[in-house]
Amino acid sequence: MTSDLLDSGTLDGLRSDLHGEAIVPGDTAYDEARTVFNGMIDRRPRVVAQCQDHRDVAAAVAFARANGLEISVRGGGHGVTGAAVADGGLVVDLRRMNAVDVDPQAGTARVGGGATVSDLDRATQPHALATTGGRASTTGIGGLTLGGGSGWLERRFGLMCDNLLAAEVVTADGRRVRAEERENPELFWALHGGGGNFGVVTEFTFGLHPLPAFAIALLLWPAEAGPEILRRYRDYMAEAPDEVGGGLLYLTGPPEPFVPPELVGRLAVGALLTYTGGLGQARPVFEPMLAHGHVGEVIAEMPYADVQCMLDDPPGYRNYWSAEYLTDFPDPAADLFCARARDMVTPSPSQHVVFPLGGAVAAGRDDFPVPWRVAPWAVHPFGLWEDPADDERGRAWARAVCADLKPWSIGAVYLNFIGDEGEERTRAGLGEQNARRLAAVKGEYDPDNVFHLNHNITPA
């Protein structure tokens, strides 16, 4: 169909409508434009519309619908499913729409739909302000927020969607709609966990929080110490103040100066402690975890935006992720979690992680479609490897972790942490009652299910 579009001049019509660019197969920029974070994804869209404003988005959506092209929406391209790229379809690429406008007096930021976590953090850092924004600087703000938005600051400041004040949305019929608490309130509610089902969000407005200082402690032990360290970490977090975040993870020891040579390239266990305050305040709070014989450490006060880059997961690797959210984390569950770390592909950038929730996450609004916020713990097998021969092993590990922890699972799961695991899993991630309400919103704003390359909600 691409040749037909070019021969008929229809594509020229799209190009004349865009302030940005329309990229097609054969163009120099095509391969970069279609490549996403997950190296397993190799899809070839017919058109990549690199939009510069909301009018470009509306034009791209109208063009795709008029020409029978499936539509995908690309923010950061970080989603594990690769849904940002429509094979044979049209990609609404928002990456040029990445401006961030901070109002330090109001404590807000207006953020373009194609911005990344880094774009937001670097803009707010000079004002000593921040909001919850994931755990990697390269993550797209759009998908992160619309799925709920979990990150290092969540125990103090809530989920990213909890800090969403307003959104500008281009709907399937090309309308530009504003959603906030008093304007289109049902749509606004749906954007707090319902994903990209309702339109293309071209701008977000977030509330910001004072964050004049930020401190971390990254501690390492040999993998054999994992069961003991996990128990101590679990008990520590049960008493930790909301200022403390982080996680415990098995990882491949990186070739860094703070890592003992015997752990480089080998399975190790680490605890990352974060603190929304300075090191002087943080160190006494970290002290209970500093007394367990760690063999490598980084303890420092660092700009939050720099911490966001510390564990950036590199692009181009083959990715498979999953998750379970737990009612509790008793010793039998901890033992199963630790034992399963041996099945992770090592050496690789993979991480076998458990995150603490609670704090402001649990205290947030219980009517948003993020039912997993009530869980105190999240287990996240986060698989990245290079060799396709490891695909079966990597997938089997992630699935086995979830199967092992299923007896303690709440059933609901953060959909940004999983791939395509079926409609039942999606409905569990939204909550059954929420799913019905979301279907009604979907029916109002996207009755033809134009935006279906996501954890999809069927319109009512």
Strand partners, 383: 320
pLDDT above 80 for 313: no
Helix (H) or strand (E) holding 430: helix 423-430
Rounded Cα gap, residues 41 and 339, in angstroms: 30
pLDDT above 70 for 278: yes
Helix (H) or strand (E) holding 424: helix 423-430
**How far from chain centre, in Å, is Cα 113?**
14
| pLDDT at position 7 | 45
pLDDT above 70 for 418: yes
What Rg do the C-alpha atoms of the chain give, in angstroms?
A: 22
| pLDDT at position 458 | 97
Report CA-CA distances (Å) from 334 to 26, 212, 437: 52, 35, 36
Q: What pLDDT, in 10s, does the model give residues 39-65?
A: 999 999 999 999 999 999 999 999 999
What percent of the chain is predicted at pLDDT more than 90?
96
| Residue 433 neighbours by CB distance under 10 Å | 11
Interval 347-367 mean pLDDT: 97
Strand partners, 239: none
CA within 13 Å, CB half, 14: 29
What is residue 329's three-state secondary structure? coil
Q: What pLDDT, in 10s, does the model give residues 114-153?
A: 999 999 999 999 999 999 999 999 999 999 999 999 999 9
| Residue 336 neighbours by CB distance under 10 Å | 17
Query: By the 8 A CB rule, do 418 and 323 touch?
Result: yes
Q: Across all residues in the chain, what is the average pLDDT?
A: 96
